[in-house]
Structure 1
Amino acid sequence: MHLTHLPVPQRIALHWRGLLAALSVLALGGCASVYRVDNAVESFPRWSEATVTGQAPAAVPTAPQSYRFDRLPSQTRGQAAADQDQLEQLARAALGQVGWQLAEPGAPARWTVQVGAATLRLPYAPWESPWDRRWGGFGLMGRDYVVTGSGHVIWTPMFMPMDWPYYQRKVSLLIRQAGSGEVVYETHAAHDGRWNSSPELWRAMLDAALQGFPTPPAGTRQVNVDLPR
């Protein structure tokens, strides 16, 4: 039987079944691919201002260097402390890639590092309409209904609103000279997208924030990091 011989509602149902099957195939085919974490990065080196009483300004440090983490009071209790533990572990790995190593407990360190992260969860992307999250945004489908060829409206509660949130994330690192507390390096990485939170995503953002360290280019730049799905 040709599709044109079927009633309009049945043709629409078959159309959607085919579309959903195609989307499933595409999703399965993309499992072995990568996804891109695109970051807007801006860094502010101020090594020349790192001074110690009675000494000349410090030169740009060359690896290896040792540091210890520094926390705000709000990052030292409860769940915030546990979250900070995980974030610092990721930052430790990222800093290790540029030759900076965490000092052993009780050992002196020339630098302190403060790392922070923030996430804003939006119900949909800034450029979207709330109605775009319904299946009805495609083809002959209405927002909660099907429009038949004769113009009749058939309500379809099975097409429920999709929960597809949008996230705005940011990480920051501040490096201070341990002796004076002077900030000598500040860097930020911001990423917007659909991806759920994961250690790999945050690590990618931290790697991006340290791109070009310790003498990064001036201004905001885009740093892309590709991760396996």
Structure 2
Amino acid sequence: MTFFEQVPGPSPSSRSQRPGARGVPTAVLLVIMAAVTVGGLWLMSEDAKSDEPLLSRILPGIFPAAPEMTTDFAELADRMTLTAEGREVLASTQPRFVDAAELDDLCGSNSHGVDDGTILGCFTGFSDSRAQDRIVILEPTDEWVAQSLLTTTAHELLHAVYAHMPEDEQAHVADLVAAATARIPAEDPVHEQIAASMGGNEQNRATEQFAYLGSQVPLDAHHDAELEQIYAQTFEDRSVLLSR
């Protein structure tokens, strides 16, 4: 609740100002406000020598530092030929390796695996706070898991990329991946992979199509040029992911 108090009127002596003097305080105030606004914009801006806002360098506590990837995931980012944007999204998920028991505990129904049921990784997060996004990957303790590492990490990264999109962009991408998936031959195992990963939830269809197509399916150069451009925002050379 807000209370308003009657402010007493000025005394007769306060009215005896020189002609024109009454507007000076207002003009000064406007100049000060303009200076503060310009100064604030300058502090928030980026300069030519750094991608970090100047204010965050002067007062680093205002802006949280971007998380750093471990050496293992930095090397994976290189192998996946991630763009600067792709690296930023991957780093924001604080990716890490876990054993099979922890992976099963953390991922649950969000897990992605192969035909024999082996869980390889997952992306989890909350739509209300992208800061809670996480990627966990099965620790490559044998050669078979190691060979799947690039595809698995790229797949989970694409889930994070899709989650970061505004709703209108997600809707557009959903149309693109639906059309691209429809052009893949019916006997291709990716259809079963998408269906299995959806877990019967139709709301998961677009993100699964986006992740599977982007991490393991060559696209039609004529029909899917726009979709390929979207993937190019994450991967400099997506062909390194395509083994078939």
Asked if TM exceeds 0.5, the reply is no
TM-score by length of 1: 0.25
The structure number with the bigger radius of gyration is 2
Structure (1 or 2) with the greater helix fraction: 2
Q: Which has the higher relative contact order, 1 or 2, with Cα contacts under 8 A spaced 6 or more apart?
A: 1
TM-score by length of 2: 0.24
